[in-house]
Amino acid sequence: MSSSGVLDRIQALRRERGALILAHCYQPAGIQDIADRVGDSLDLSRAAASSPEPVIVFCGVRFMAETAHILAPGKTVLLPDPTAGCPLADSLDMGALRALQEMAGPSSLTVMYVNSPAEAKAASYACCTSANALQVVERAPSNRVVFAPDRNLGEFVSRSLEGRKELLIYQGCCTTHANADLDDLLSSKRDWPDAEVLVHPETPPAFWENADFVLGTGGMVRRIRESAAGRFLIGTERGMIHRLETLYPERSFRVVGSIFCPNMKKVTLEAIERSLATLSPAITLPAELRERALRAVRRMAETG
């Protein structure tokens, strides 16, 4: 099957279906290149909710498509590879979350990272992404906040608040980021001593301590636009390098930490064509669960 054949068929189906193709910036280069929009989790969930297209092809992982469905239940949200999950979201244990909430007491509120199952979102005051986690926690009207499920992002928010709020942090992690290779970061810094170092808050604290900025993927895009540096070491999933090279072809980028997410590489052009042709697999949730999760997801979409 020639690549131009599949691209032509995707274009025709996209028009016929009135579809918007969204791609997270960790997606393979060929998927980013055909998307209508490439962005971070926050940007894409807002685009899914506000765009006029009745069909959304979500090139990402399941919690992202679920979040789009929660915000835009009248649209058909397609996840071209239904096995593209998120181990962080899948590892959240509702019993352990409830135990932490009980320990925190009735005056506490829960802020749930969007990388989580819908049931956990429904049990929370607000959701957040890495782009607005600090603002969402700051705005939550309680000084005691349960933060779940990513322990590194929670710890980063806690340190940034400098004691202004007490955080009780669920001990989950994104294994892709949490196992990032520190020696690789340190040797890359020796190779490129002039480079600015940007790392994702899901990486371990030792990464932040060796970085110039700790930012979500959208924050990295904005920081590079403002920066005078010519070279950047990027501590997040390696798909981000294609995004940055596309936006800033005159700068140089190197991924650090050997960070690779196999789930983010599951979507293929053939799978996009198939899902547009069959309008499946469509991601849905039971209506009552969707409605219970909506309040927390809306607070996320409206912050930052």
- Identify the residue among 38, 65, 89, 131 touching ligand 13P (CB under 6 A): 131
Closest CA to 119 of 93, 101, 153: 93
- Identify the residue among 80, 149, 216, 235 touching ligand 13P (CB under 6 A): 216
Site size for ligand 13P (CB under 6 A): 11
Residue 152 engages ligand 13P in binding (rule: CB under 6 A): no
Helix (H, G, I), strand (E, B) or coil at 294: helix
- Identify the residue among 174, 233, 267, 293 touching ligand 13P (CB under 6 A): 174
- Identify the residue among 121, 202, 235, 256 touching ligand 13P (CB under 6 A): 202
Binding range to ligand 13P, per CB under 6 A, among 75-83, 101-109, 129-137, 156-164: 129-137
Between CA 23 and CA 218 the distance in angstroms is 13
Number of H helices, E strands in the chain: 16, 12
Contact 163, 141 (CB under 8 A): no
Closest CA to 257 of 194, 175, 166: 175
Structure tokens at 4: 């131009």
Between CA 142 and CA 139 the distance in angstroms is 8
Residues 6+ apart with CB under 8 A from 114: 41, 45, 63, 64, 67, 121, 127, 128, 129, 297, 300
Closest to ligand 13P by CB, 53 or 150: 150
Closest to ligand 13P by CB, 13 or 84: 84
User: Looking only at residues 181 through 200 of this chain, which bind ligand 13P when binding is defined by CB under 6 A?
Assistant: none
Residues 6+ apart with CB under 8 A from 11: none
- Identify the residue among 108, 124, 130, 263 touching ligand 13P (CB under 6 A): 130
- Identify the residue among 27, 32, 41, 110 touching ligand 13P (CB under 6 A): 41
CB of 43 to ligand 13P, least distance (A): 8
Closest to ligand 13P by CB, 80 or 201: 201
- Identify the residue among 67, 217, 275, 303 touching ligand 13P (CB under 6 A): 217
Give contact residues for ligand 13P (rule: CB under 6 A). Answer: 40-41, 115, 129-131, 174, 177, 202, 216-217
